[in-house]
Each structure stands twice: as C-alpha cells, then as structure tokens.
C-alpha cells in the first residue's frame, strides 16, 4: 500500500524541470509514497483552493517543489514604503500555489519537505518561516554523492510521513 502525499508543483515545466520532477517522483516511488497533485493526479470538481484542502486532508505529508515560473529583469520591491528597494538583477518567482498549498499543509500539521530552485525566495521558501529546512532543488546529472544526499533527505522525511499516517 502506498501512502498519499500532497505534491505542490506547477503543471507547466521546462524539460529540465520535468526531468527533476521525475527524479523526485522516483524517490517517492522508492519509499512507497503516492504523489497527489491537483490538476495532475486529482482533478477539481469545486473551487481549486477548496479542493486543495479536501485532498490535503487525505494525505500524510506535503512536498513543495519551488520551480521558477516567472522571471523578472528588475523592478521595485515594496514601492512607496520606507523599505522601497530597486532591484536591477534577475528575480525568479515560483507559482503562488506553492505558498497557498504549503500554508494549508502546514496548518494540517503534515510533515513538509521543501525544495526550491536557485533564486527562488519568499514565503515558504525563506529560512526560518517554519521549522522545516528548505533544500536546494537537485540538479542533473546527479553524481553518487548527490544521489545519496537526496535519498537521505527522503528517508528522513518518509519516516515522519509514516509516523503521521499510522498515528491517525
């Protein structure tokens, strides 16, 4: 029997992002965890945010994949405030659904595992927002050391997921 885990991940991904997602899903498979994702494994019949909540209640863990979905070449951070700051470099943003879904998963007390691509910041991806460590998204190809590190991360998290699942 596979244990359901909610996966927060954009639907539209680049080729490289798809390959990384596939690698991560193989880790889920290795530990007999079933990825549940709105719009991919499950399709909404009500409002999407409500469906996220309903689906998340049936899961024993949450996996947040912070892939770049929008890239801006500069801008103004916190305009018209005393903290206004001009940004002249490239800034990357994940899907806003990562933050919404992570908040729901966190409020349900589910064990979270969070990965982010280089340059992703804010919300769930900021260190210290929760007690959850935010990991750098794996990059391909993985060398043997990186494979062991990724496996170790999933091994620890799946232990928490199983503990949550069997306590219900």
Work out how many domains the chain is built from and give that number.
Answer: 1
Q: Average pLDDT, stretch 35-64?
A: 84
Buried b vs exposed e over 6-43: b needs ≥16 C-beta within 10 Å? bbbbbeebeeebeebbeebbebbeebebebbbbeeebe
| Mean residue pLDDT across the chain | 93
Provide the 8-state DSSP code for 127.
Answer: T
Q: Average pLDDT, stretch 146-156?
A: 96
The pTM is what?
0.91
**Residue 107 predicted with pLDDT over 60:** yes
CATH of the domain at 17: 3.40.50.450
Confidence of residue 78 (pLDDT cuts 50, 70, 90): very high
Q: Average pLDDT, stretch 11-33?
A: 97
- Matching residue, tokens 């998204």: 137
Range of the domain at 159: 3-167
């Amino acid at each position: 029997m596979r244990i359901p885990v909610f996966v927060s991940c954009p639907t539209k991904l680049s080729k490289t992002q798809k390959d990384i997602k596939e690698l991560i899903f193989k880790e889920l498979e290795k530990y007999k965890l079933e990825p549940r994702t709105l719009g991919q494994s499950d399709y909404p019949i009500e409002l999407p945010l409500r469906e996220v909540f309903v689906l998340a209640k049936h899961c024993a863990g949450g996996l947040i994949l912070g892939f770049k979905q929008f890239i801006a070449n500069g801008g103004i951070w916190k305009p018209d405030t005393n903290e206004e700051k001009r940004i002249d470099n490239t800034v990357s943003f994940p899907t806003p659904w990562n933050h919404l879904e992570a908040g729901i998963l966190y409020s349900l007390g589910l064990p979270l595992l969070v990965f982010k691509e280089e340059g992703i910041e804010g919300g769930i991806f900021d260190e210290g927002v929760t007690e959850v460590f935010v990991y750098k998204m794996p990059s391909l190809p993985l060398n043997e050391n990186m494979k062991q590190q990724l496996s170790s991360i999933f091994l620890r998290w799946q232990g928490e997921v199983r503990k949550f699942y069997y306590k219900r």
